[in-house]
């Protein structure tokens, strides 16, 4: 069993640290944010994720939080890699400073694992040279990239049951890393080299982005033919080798909307991937085109946006397509009222109350498919004009139509 120092106590580093601590390792979790460390030292949690409370309780004897890196057998970097919107490049500053913090503690025989997502070859070109400032050469210390692949909302389950990719600089690095993860991972652990592991992680999210872009393009094409894209995708997916994802108002979150940029930042040869990014990034414009038609002729139109989180039943608004849609609506001079029961911190004011957000509205626009929205009673809403645009084909449309609403759905032939 090893002494493991984890750098970064966010949505990945913290649960990973607890899993390792509850499987026999001694774990010191390090975060530069003092407030996070103090919260944990008081026995409280700083993030919400199903199952985390129980795990924290069961791991607390082997887990401690600190703002300082200490000597250890294994250093695991799980800090964020932000996306720099201006240059569309990965921002490796947190990864670099985590590596710098390890340098004074690094000894021959130690293992450094990078879990943070990075652009291809970043370990070789950026992270390892920093670690070598310790005077110890790669090979004398062990190194691997083991990308995190758990989906928010199901993080603990997926951390335990997903397969893992371990990309080591040599065979020993691969094997020692595998043994660490084997303590709690029930999925298979696949060994490869570092550059491949970095590429694999980005490929997974890029695959999803391209697939969603295909679904979004199909939605637009289906509208031109007056065909229901949702039925088309449902039936096409009955084929054993077809699996098309769902169209929607665009792709959000800090992974799928970002990783294709990381994958393509050092190549001139990406076309499909970048085109897919454009298709997904312009879906809010497409939703706006529909909404604009629905409210044309109405003086001083008021729009209600249902949901601003980037996906269902979470509070995370990073890269959400809702923001572009709302900005366009505001630019056009519409009054925009927003309701989201989860989102607490958002760039625009959010009404906690649905009735208030719908009062006087000329078009209710569903952006995020939060499960609670299914329970809305449309007949109770005090709107000015009864219109609904559903960008996810999510609501019970018959119920809204029975309440007198004109309903339009993305990728669906107009009924009126
Ligand atoms: N979306 C669609 N249509 C779909 C599915 C998703 O429009 O059919 C949209 C969602 O509404 C959301 C966005 O795509 O705005 C991304 O959501 P997601 O649930 O597909 O993915 P993330 O970003 O929450 O998590 C992904 C996962 N990657 C894959 O499934 C390949 C997760 O496993 C990764 O660990 C995570 O990125 C990450 O951290 O990289």
**Cα separation, 385 vs 365, whole angstroms:** 13
Mean pLDDT on 102-114:
98
Q: How far from 68 is each of 106, 108, 109, 133, CA to CA, in Å?
A: 14, 21, 21, 19
3-state helix, strand, coil in the chain (%, to 5): 40, 15, 45
Query: Over 90: is that where the pLDDT of 58 sits?
Result: yes
Residue-by-residue DSSP string for 35-68: HHHHHHHTT--SS--TTHHHHHHHHTTTEEEESS
Mean pLDDT on 223-230:
96
Burial class (CB in 10 A: 0-12, 13-18, 19+), 115: buried
Query: Over 70: is that where the pLDDT of 415 sits?
Result: no
Mean pLDDT on 204-212:
98
Return the minimum-mean-pLDDT range out of 47-51, 224-228, 350-354, 368-372.
Answer: 47-51
- Give the other-Cβ count within 10 Å of 277's Cβ: 22
Q: What is the pLDDT of residue 357?
A: 98
Catalytic residue among 255, 317, 358, 363: 255
Mean pLDDT on 191-208:
98
Q: What is the pLDDT of residue 345?
A: 85
- What contacts 80, CB < 8 A, 6 or more positions away? 8, 10, 94, 116, 254
49 falls in which pLDDT band (50, 70, 90)?
Answer: confident
Q: Is the CB of 248 under 6 A from ligand 1?
A: yes
Burial class (CB in 10 A: 0-12, 13-18, 19+), 136: middle
Of 273, 209, 211, the residue nearest 236 (C-alpha): 211
Residue 317 appears among annotated catalytic residues: no
* End-to-end alpha carbon distance in the chain: 67
**Cα separation, 339 vs 51, whole angstroms:** 28
Residue-wise pLDDT for 112-169, tens only, equals: 999 999 999 999 999 999 999 999 999 999 999 999 999 888 999 999 999 999 999 9
**Best substitution site from 10, 208, 279 to test ligand 1's pocket, by max atoms within 8 Å of Cβ?**
208
Residue 201 appears among annotated catalytic residues: yes
Q: Is the CB of 254 under 6 A from ligand 1?
A: no
Q: What is the pLDDT of residue 331?
A: 97
- Give the other-Cβ count within 10 Å of 39's Cβ: 17
Q: How far from 119 is each of 83, 102, 176, 262, 270, CA to CA, in Å?
A: 11, 21, 24, 5, 14
Q: Is the CB of 208 under 6 A from ligand 1?
A: yes
Mean pLDDT on 90-117:
98
Which pair of tokens denotes residue 98? 């985590």
50 falls in which pLDDT band (50, 70, 90)?
Answer: confident
Strands 164-168, 142-145: parallel, antiparallel or unpaired by DSSP? antiparallel
**Cα separation, 380 vs 295, whole angstroms:** 21
Q: What is the pLDDT of residue 414?
A: 73
Q: Is the CB of 255 under 6 A from ligand 1?
A: yes
Q: State the DSSP H helix or E strand holding residue 303, giving kind and residue range, or none if neither.
A: strand 302-306
Query: What 3-state class would DSSP assign to 192?
Result: strand
Query: Over 90: is that where the pLDDT of 47 sits?
Result: no
Catalytic residue among 146, 174, 201, 363: 201
**Cα separation, 295 vs 302, whole angstroms:** 9
Residue-wise pLDDT for 246-293, tens only, equals: 999 999 999 999 999 999 999 999 999 999 999 999 999 999 999 999
The pTM for the full model equals 0.94
Average pLDDT, the chain: 96
Q: Which of ligand 1's atoms lies nearest the C-alpha of 152?
A: 24
Residue-wise pLDDT for 8-29, tens only, equals: 999 999 999 999 999 999 999 9
Q: How far is CA 336 from the centre of its chain?
A: 26
């Amino acid at each position: 069993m090893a002494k493991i120092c984890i750098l970064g106590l966010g949505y990945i580093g913290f649960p990973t640290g607890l899993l390792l601590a509850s499987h026999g390792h001694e774990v010191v979790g390090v975060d530069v944010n003092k407030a996070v460390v103090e919260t944990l030292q008081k026995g409280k949690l700083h993030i919400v994720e199903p199952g985390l409370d129980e795990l924290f309780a069961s791991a607390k004897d082997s887990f401690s939080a600190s703002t300082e890196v200490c000597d250890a057998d294994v250093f695991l970097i799980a800090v964020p890699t932000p996306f720099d919107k201006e240059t569309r490049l990965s921002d490796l500053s947190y990864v670099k400073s985590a590596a710098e913090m390890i340098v004074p503690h690094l000894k021959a025989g130690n293992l450094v694992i990078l879990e943070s997502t990075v652009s291809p070859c970043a370990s070789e070109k950026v992270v390892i040279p920093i670690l070598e400032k310790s005077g110890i050469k790669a090979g004398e210390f062990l190194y691997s990239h083991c990308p995190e692949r758990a989906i928010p909302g199901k993080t603990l389950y997926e951390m335990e049951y997903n397969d893992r990719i371990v990309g080591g600089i040599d065979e020993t690095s691969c094997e020692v890393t595998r043994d660490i993860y084997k303590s709690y991972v029930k999925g298979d652990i696949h060994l490869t080299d570092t550059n491949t592991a970095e590429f694999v992680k980005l490929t997974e999210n890029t695959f999803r982005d391209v697939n969603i872009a295909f679904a979004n393009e199909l939605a637009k094409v289906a509208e031109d033919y007056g065909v229901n894209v949702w039925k088309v995708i449902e039936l096409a997916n009955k084929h054993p080798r077809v699996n098309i994802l769902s169209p929607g108002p665009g792709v959000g979150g800090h992974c799928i909307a970002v990783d294709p940029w990381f994958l393509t930042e050092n190549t001139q040869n990406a076309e499909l991937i970048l085109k897919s990014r454009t298709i997904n990034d312009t879906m809010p414009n497409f939703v706006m085109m529909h909404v604009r038609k629905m409210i044309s002729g109405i003086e001083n139109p008021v729009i209600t946006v249902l949901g601003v989180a980037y996906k269902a039943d979470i509070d995370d608004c990073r890269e959400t397509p809702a923001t572009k849609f709302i900005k366009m609506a505001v630019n056009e001079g519409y009054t925009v009222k927003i309701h989201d029961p989860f989102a607490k911190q958002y760039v625009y004011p959010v009404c906690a109350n649905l009735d208030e957000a719908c009062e006087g509205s000329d078009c209710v626009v569903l952006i995020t498919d939060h499960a609670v929205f299914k329970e809305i009673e449309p007949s109770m809403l005090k709107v000015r004009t009864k219109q609904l645009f559903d960008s996810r084909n999510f609501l019970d449309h018959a119920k809204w139509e029975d309440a007198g609403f004109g309903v339009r759905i993305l990728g669906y032939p107009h009924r009126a």
